[in-house]
């Protein structure tokens, strides 16, 4: 029997209110955007309803893939201008985020 122990990262957020109320995700207190190629970018409040926004981030449009979620939007605040996304699996005890990519690069930056 093999036991694997992993350190649990802490996911939080902070408000950044430059042009409009925006939420920036933090992992262990550091901006997630800096880890995934979107430094300084957050999620404008108008895309957040009850969880991380799906893609597209509009409640009247069904997401193509419900496991894909926005973690950062272009600094101008427009989803259509550019965004960073990842796959999110939430089993109620842990949230797993993986397969990060940006709409501009379409590149997997790891997890
Ligand atoms: Zn933009």
Cross-strand partners of 2: none
Bridge-based pairing of strands 30-31 and 68-73 is unpaired
Gap from CA of 28 to ligand 1 centroid (Å): 27
Residue 64 CA to residue 54 CA, distance in Å, equals 9
Q: What total number of domains does the chain contain?
A: 1
The contacts of residue 38 (CB under 8 Å, 6+ apart) are: 71, 72, 84, 102
Looking at residue 107, its pLDDT comes to 44
The contacts of residue 97 (CB under 8 Å, 6+ apart) are: 11, 71, 86, 87, 88, 111
Q: Which residues surround ligand 1, an ion (CB under 5 A)?
A: 74, 76, 81
The contacts of residue 79 (CB under 8 Å, 6+ apart) are: 47, 56, 57, 70, 73
Asked if residue 22 has pLDDT above 80, the reply is yes
Q: How confident is the model at residue 110 (pLDDT cuts 50, 70, 90)?
A: very low
Determine if the pTM surpasses 0.85: no
pLDDT digits (tens, 9 = 90+) for 67-95: 999 999 998 999 999 999 999 988 878 88
Identify the DSSP state of 80.
G
Q: Is residue 108 part of a domain?
A: no
Q: Is residue 3 part of a domain?
A: no
- What residue numbers bound the domain in which 47 lies? 11-102
Asked if residue 31 has pLDDT above 80, the reply is yes
Gap from CA of 78 to ligand 1 centroid (Å): 6
Gap from CA of 3 to ligand 1 centroid (Å): 45
Q: Is residue 81 part of a domain?
A: yes
| 90/21: higher pLDDT | 21
Q: Is residue 24 part of a domain?
A: yes
Gap from CA of 73 to ligand 1 centroid (Å): 8
C-beta of residue 80 within 8 angstroms of C-beta of residue 70: no
Gap from CA of 60 to ligand 1 centroid (Å): 23
Asked if residue 14 has pLDDT above 50, the reply is yes
Asked if residue 10 has pLDDT above 80, the reply is yes
Maximum separation of any 2 CA atoms in the chain, in Å: 54
Q: Is residue 52 part of a domain?
A: yes
């Amino acid at each position: 029997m093999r036991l694997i122990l992993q350190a649990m990262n802490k996911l939080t957020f902070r408000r950044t209110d430059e042009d409009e109320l925006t939420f920036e995700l933090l992992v262990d207190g550091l901006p997630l955007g800096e880890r995934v190629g979107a430094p300084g970018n957050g999620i404008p409040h108008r895309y957040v309803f009850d969880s991380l926004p799906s893609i597209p981030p509009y409640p009247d449009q069904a997401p193509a893939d419900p496991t894909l979620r926005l973690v950062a939007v272009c600094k101008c605040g427009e989803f259509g201008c550019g965004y960073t996304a990842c796959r999110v699996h939430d089993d109620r005890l842990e949230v797993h985020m993986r397969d990060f990519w940006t709409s501009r690069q379409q590149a997997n930056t790891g997890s």
